[in-house]
Amino acid sequence: MPAHTPLEWALIFAAAFGSGFLLRTLGLGVGIALTPLLTLAFPPRFSLGLIALTSSMTSLGMTRDMWGQWHRRTILLAFPGAAAGILGGTWLVARLPDAQLRAVIGVLCLLFALHRIYVELTGRALEAPRLPPWLGVMIGGLSGLSSALANSGAVVLALFLHSQNLPKTVLVATLWALYFFINPLKLAAYWQASVITADTLWAGLAGIPCVWAGLRSGAWTHNRIRLRTFNLAILGLALAGSLRLLLAP
C-alpha cells in the first residue's frame, strides 16, 4: 500500500466518488472537473492514471443500464480513430515534461469547460452543421487524443453526436459504449508508458467503495436536482482548476 498523507487519500477517495457520481449523473465531465484539480496535488501522470482507472470502474458499473442502446455505426466509425488517438496521446504523455503536461491539461480542460459553460448559460450548444458520418473516424481520433491527454474525450465525441441528432438516451449510451470498449486499450497503454503504476493501482483499488457510492448517489440524484445549477457549480470548479494549472509557476 503506497504511503500518502491523509489529505492525499481524501483527494483520491473524492476523485473516485466524483468519477462515479459525475458519469452516472451527467455521462461526461469527469476529466474536465477532476483532472485539473488532482493535478494541483499530484504529478500529472498519477492524476491521469487514477481518473482513467476510476472512470473504467464506473463504466463497468453502468453496463446494465447502457448495454445495447448505443448507435452501432458511430461506434464502428469512431473506434479506429479513438484507438489511434489513445496511443498517440499516451506517447505524448510519456514524453512531455511535467510543466508542459500540466499546461496541456490546463488548456484542454479550460476550452472544454468554457464550451460547456456557454451551453449551460445559453441553453444551446454552439451551432454546427450536420457532419457526415464518415467524419466519425477523425472525431474519434480527436476524442481519443483528448482522452489520453486530459481524460476529456467524451466531450469531443459529444459535439459530433449532437450534430447527428441522436436521441438523448442513444447519445449517452454511445458515449458510454465507445469508452467502455476503448478503456482496456487505454489502461494497457498507460501501464506500458508508466502512467499507471503499482501506486496508481493501489489507489484505484482502495477507491472502489467510493466509486460504488458515487454511482448510487448519482443514480439517486439524476432526476432530483436542478441539473443546470449542478453543472455550473462543477464547471466553475473545473474552470478554476484549469486556470490554476495554467498560472502555476
Residue 97 phi, psi (nearest 5): -60, 155
Quick one: DSSP state of residue 41? T
The full set of domain ranges for the chain reads 6-247
Find out whether 242 and 106 touch, Cβ atoms under 8 Å: yes
**pLDDT band, very low/low/confident/very high, at 225 (cuts 50, 70, 90):** low
Q: What is the pLDDT of residues 186-211, one digit of tens each?
A: 999 999 998 899 999 999 899 899 99
User: What sign results for the dihedral spanned by CA atoms 23, 28, 29, 30?
Assistant: positive
Is pLDDT above 60 for 129?
A: no
3-state secondary structure at position 3: coil
Mean pLDDT of 89-98: 84
Inter-residue contact 139 to 78 (CB < 8 Å)? yes
Distance CA 121, CA 124 (A): 8
Q: Report which residue type is found at 111.
A: L
Q: How confident is the model at residue 99 (pLDDT cuts 50, 70, 90)?
A: confident
pTM, full prediction = 0.76
